[in-house]
Each structure stands twice: as structure tokens, then as C-alpha cells.
Structure 1
């Protein structure tokens, strides 16, 4: 849908250029050249291990992050981890229920770099 609006906007902008000259503008790429790119991230099969805390982190955090990425964060205290979990839920729509925040922070304090 966004692409449709973007294309409509481009079409309208193109119509604002005055009298058509009959020649294609060499500085504007034709729409046929639009393509989609993707990147390949390195595989990281590591999990937080077994147990209730690990299961919570594996289920909530690994959908978007690798264990390595989480463990390489600077040491955070409880308040900082809470703000981070809240940001993941609110800004990025992470699959975290508000009532899970404390349990996730407890697990992060135990399994990730932390300043107690």
C-alpha cells in the first residue's frame, strides 16, 4: 500500500514538470529499475540454554536478536534493562506482554552483562 502511494506521488510530481519535451530525462531512472535487495546475516544457533529464564529469553528476544548480540551489550543495571525491554515492546512491537517485563529483566540480569 505504501508503495502504491509512493508511486502515485511520483506520478503526480512528474506531471508538475511543465510542458513535456518528448525526451526522457536521463537523471531519472525508469520505474523498471526498482528492485528489492536483501542481506544475509551470519547464522547464530546459540540459545540462552535450558530452564524457565532461558525459555523466556529464547522465546521473546531471539525472534529479533542473537544471543551474541545481547551478550555483547555493555553491562546494564536493572533500570536500564527495564527501559530497554519497554522500548523493545513499545517502539519495536516486540512480542512481550507488559506483565512479562520484570521476569525478562530478571532473566537478562542473570544471563546477560549486567551491573547489579
Structure 2
């Protein structure tokens, strides 16, 4: 019985310590990095306008930002085709087969590797 009381006392003090610590952490309303963080509404990334650009924008920007594509390595056309097909078949992207071909060519043009 004495061990149970000790456990409960320990848990109570541990909980109280954590509650107080969390409360103190929230008293400083400004995050130290907030002054240097960019305003994401002002950050824009523009992909190159090449053949297929508008088809890419109409079909892919729903889920992927332009910066997502720019951060990808240069890939061969076969790999881009596999990725676009995966988006259609596995993830259910509502992209027609004809649009997929245009998107693959666009991605190969802007981020392709021979």
C-alpha cells in the first residue's frame, strides 16, 4: 500500500512539473524564428513554360506544388512515365491517358535526363 502511495505521489508531481513546464513554454508568444521565416503567401515558384505546361498545371497542381517538381532530380522519360502512371492508377489522379502523355513529355522537357 505504501508503494502505491509513493507511485501516485511521484506521478502527481511528475504531471504537475510537466504542466508547469508546458505553461511556461507558452508564455513567450513569439517564436524566435518567426522574425526570419518567409511569408509563405508571398513565396512563389514558377515552372518553365514549355509545351504541356498548362496541362501539367490543370492536372497536377491540385496535389503538387511547383516547388515539388523543381526539387525532383532529372529523370529519364521512362521514370516520369512510371510516376505519372502511378499517380493515375495507384493514387486515383483524375488524369486522362492523353493528358498523362502530355504531362510526361512536359516533365521530361523540364526535368528530363537522357
- Give your verdict on TM over 0.5: yes
In structure 2, the CA distance between the partners of 1:114 and 1:52, relative to structure 1 (3 Å rule), is closer
Secondary structure at 1:93 match in 2: coil
Residue 61 of structure 1: how far off its partner (Å):
1.1
**1:101 equivalenced with 2:97 (yes/no):** no
Report the equivalent of 1:75: 74
- What RMSD over aligned residues (CA atoms) do the two structures have, in Å? 2.0
Query: What is the CA–CA distance in structure 1 between the aligned matches of 2:67 and 2:50, rounded to whole Å?
Result: 19
Report the equivalent of 2:113: 115
Report the equivalent of 2:90: 91
Residue 54 of structure 1: how far off its partner (Å):
1.3
- Flag as ranges the 4+ runs of structure 1 deviating above 2 A: 42-52
**1:64 equivalenced with 2:66 (yes/no):** no
Structure of greater Rg: 2
In structure 2, the CA distance between the partners of 1:49 and 1:75, relative to structure 1 (3 Å rule), is closer
Q: Which one has the bigger helix percentage?
A: 2
Q: Is the 8 A contact 2:47 2:70 kept in 1?
A: no
Query: What is the CA–CA distance in structure 2 between the aligned matches of 1:45 and 1:76, rounded to whole Å?
Result: 24
- Per the normalisation by structure 1, the TM-score is 0.55
Matched residues, number = 74
Query: What is the CA–CA distance in structure 2 between the aligned matches of 1:99 and 1:57, rounded to whole Å?
Result: 12
Unaligned regions of 5+ residues in structure 2, if any? 1-39
Report the equivalent of 1:53: 52
Secondary structure at 2:112 match in 1: coil
In structure 2, the CA distance between the partners of 1:81 and 1:51, relative to structure 1 (3 Å rule), is closer
Residue 50 of structure 1: how far off its partner (Å):
5.0
In structure 2, the CA distance between the partners of 1:50 and 1:97, relative to structure 1 (3 Å rule), is same
